[in-house]
């Protein structure tokens, strides 16, 4: 581990002025510093900022502070009642100890768990642009099936970001030039030729809060994560879905997938196929197939296409059955 400067910030402006990498729970950044993947010269610790709360927005939505921990958000009664998939996604991630440390803002900025990215002795375009992507023809059993390019086939690891993407949550941030906000579905750019460009946040931006908008559909939502062991593993494929049905007709539906692309994957084709139609297993299957028609599996991960399709159908069927 290289030497680095560390400071605690007590105000947002002080943090912005520090010209440093932001540290919150450290559950990902510190690990990566230990292995030499991340080599920041300066860290500014944001845990002293007044950003840890959860409050109800004026319009009835919910505002999650950037340094609220996963445990606190997952246990919040309003989150559990109005956005159950958000609570479920957080509880499906990591371990109790990690959830007590990890934060809302840090979660969204965590790095991929691709093994080649994690090993500085390997090439990796995401870590060192231009060095290549060994996963493309290497070990990629748990890599992307959608929207990958020859530059990077890694997946985004966050569970939390999947329901946020489905629910059109909004990231709010501060910069020295003023505040800004970005809806989650646009927060992570397509991987394209620049896998090292992981978000569209402006340079130096500090995430201050995440807004969960009001939408009746989110109250009946579900996050289901499939993984290679019962806990403490990243998603093979996960689905966040919400379904609002009246008189047998889909009034609103949200579907997003985790573990399939370099970003949480909003399944807009599936949503479009369902909206206004009957909420039947046949329609769920058609919608899942429509979404995954675009999938381009790698040599060893075609099973993820089947898995994603089955999982969309299973979660929507379960939500429909809950009425």
Q: How far is the CB of 237 from another protein (least distance, A)?
A: 8
Q: How far is the CB of 310 from another protein (least distance, A)?
A: 4
Smaller CB separation from another protein, 101 or 233: 233
Query: Which residue in 5, 177, 231, 278 binds another protein (CB under 8 A)?
Result: 231
Cβ proximity of 184 and 164 under 8 Å: yes
Smaller CB separation from another protein, 1 or 77: 1
d(CA 227, CA 26): 24
**In terms of Cα–Cα distance, which of 95, 94, 76, 72 is closest to 84?**
76
Q: How far is the CB of 234 from another protein (least distance, A)?
A: 8
Q: Cα separations (Å) of 54 from 73, 120, 182, 209?
A: 8, 38, 19, 9
- Binders of another protein among 281-320, rule CB under 8 A? 302-303, 306-307, 310-311, 313-314
- Binders of another protein among 90-119, rule CB under 8 A? 113, 115-116, 118-119
- 226 is an interface residue for another protein by CB under 8 A: yes
Q: How far is the CB of 123 from another protein (least distance, A)?
A: 10
| 196: Cβ contacts below 8 Å, ≥ 6 apart | 125, 126, 127, 129
Query: Which residue in 58, 59, 77, 121 binds another protein (CB under 8 A)?
Result: 121
Query: Which residue in 138, 183, 204, 213 binds another protein (CB under 8 A)?
Result: 138
Q: How far is the CB of 139 from another protein (least distance, A)?
A: 4
d(CA 246, CA 43): 51
**In terms of Cα–Cα distance, which of 199, 202, 165, 167 is closest to 184?**
165
Find the angle CA(260)-CA(163)-CA(212) to the nearest 5 degrees: 145
Cβ proximity of 204 and 120 under 8 Å: no
Q: How far is the CB of 98 from another protein (least distance, A)?
A: 12
Total number of residues that touch another protein (CB under 8 A): 33
Smaller CB separation from another protein, 34 or 55: 34
Cβ neighbour number for residue 100 with a 10 Å cutoff: 14
Cβ proximity of 12 and 208 under 8 Å: yes
- Binders of another protein among 28-87, rule CB under 8 A? 35-36
Applying CB under 8 A, which residues contact another protein?
A: 1-2, 35-36, 113, 115-116, 118-119, 121-122, 134, 137-139, 141, 226, 228-234, 236, 302-303, 306-307, 310-311, 313-314
């Amino acid at each position: 581990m290289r030497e680095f400067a560390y400071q605690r910030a007590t105000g947002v402006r002080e943090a912005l002025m520090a010209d440093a990498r932001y540290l919150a729970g450290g559950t990902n950044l510190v690990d990566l510093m230990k292995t030499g993947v991340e080599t920041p010269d300066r860290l500014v610790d944001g845990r002293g900022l007044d950003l840890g709360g959860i409050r109800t927005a004026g319009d009835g939505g919910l505002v999650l502070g950037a340094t609220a921990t996963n445990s606190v958000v997952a246990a919040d009664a309003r989150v559990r009642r109005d956005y159950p998939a958000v609570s479920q996604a957080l509880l499906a991630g990591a371990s109790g100890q990690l959830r007590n440390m990890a934060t809302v803002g840090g979660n969204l900025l965590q790095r991929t768990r691709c093994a080649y990215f994690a090993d500085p002795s390997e090439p990796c375009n995401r870590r060192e642009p231009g060095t290549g992507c060994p996963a493309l023809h290497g070990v990629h059993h748990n890599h992307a099936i959608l929207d990958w390019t020859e530059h990077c086939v890694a997946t985004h690891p966050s569970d939390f970001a999947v329901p946020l993407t489905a629910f059109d949550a909004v990231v709010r941030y501060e910069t020295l030039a003023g505040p800004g906000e970005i809806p989650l579905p646009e927060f992570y750019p397509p991987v394209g030729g620049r896998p090292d460009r992981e978000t569209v946040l402006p340079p130096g931006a500090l995430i201050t809060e995440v807004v969960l908008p009001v939408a009746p559909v989110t109250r009946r939502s579900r996050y289901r994560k499939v993984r290679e062991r019962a806990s403490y593993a990243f998603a093979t494929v996960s689905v966040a879905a919400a379904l609002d049905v009246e008189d047998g007709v889909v009034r609103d539906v949200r579907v997003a997938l985790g573990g399939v692309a370099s970003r949480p994957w909003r399944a807009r084709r599936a949503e479009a196929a369902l909206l206004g139609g009957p909420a039947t297993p046949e329609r769920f299957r058609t919608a899942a197939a429509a979404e995954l028609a675009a999938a381009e599996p790698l040599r060893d991960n075609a099973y993820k296409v089947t898995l994603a399709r089955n999982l969309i159908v299973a979660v929507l069927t379960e939500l429909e059955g809950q009425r």
